Amino acid sequence: MMQKLKAGYFLVLILLSQLSGCASVEPWEKSAFAREDMQLAAEELDLALDDHIYFSKEGASGGRSFSGGGCGCN
């Protein structure tokens, strides 16, 4: 019983120690997020490959950047 309690305390301590890894980023520290290569659509080739996978494996196209929903009517 005592051993279990100790293990519990130990676990809580370890979890608490991980909280120091959570740091808030201040508005003026966001320069890295503003970089072009940090944007969601930064890599043309990557996006083209994604589109190809959606089209050929899932039979779906569109939804990201081109018109038409796969119904064949556009």
Partner 1 sequence: MIVTLYAAGIFFSVAAPGLEHQMIDSNGHAFSMSDYRGKVIYVDFWASWCGPCRKSFPWMNEMHNRYKDRGLIVIAINLDSDMKDASPFLDELNPEFVIGYDPEGKVARSFDLLGMPSSFVFDKAGNLINSHVGFFSEQTSDYEAELVKLLEQQ
Interface with partner 1 (CB under 8 A): 26-31, 34-35
Of residues 34 and 71, the one with the C-beta less far from partner 1: 34
Least Cα distance to 65 among 57, 46, 56 occurs for 46
Phi and psi dihedrals of 20, rounded to 5? -65, -15
Tell the smallest beta-carbon distance from residue 27 to partner 1 (Å). Answer: 5
All residues at 6 or more sequence positions from 64 whose CB lies less than 8 Å from its CB, including other chains: 47, 50, 51, 54
Of residues 14 and 34, the one with the C-beta less far from partner 1: 34
Tell the smallest beta-carbon distance from residue 65 to partner 1 (Å). Answer: 22
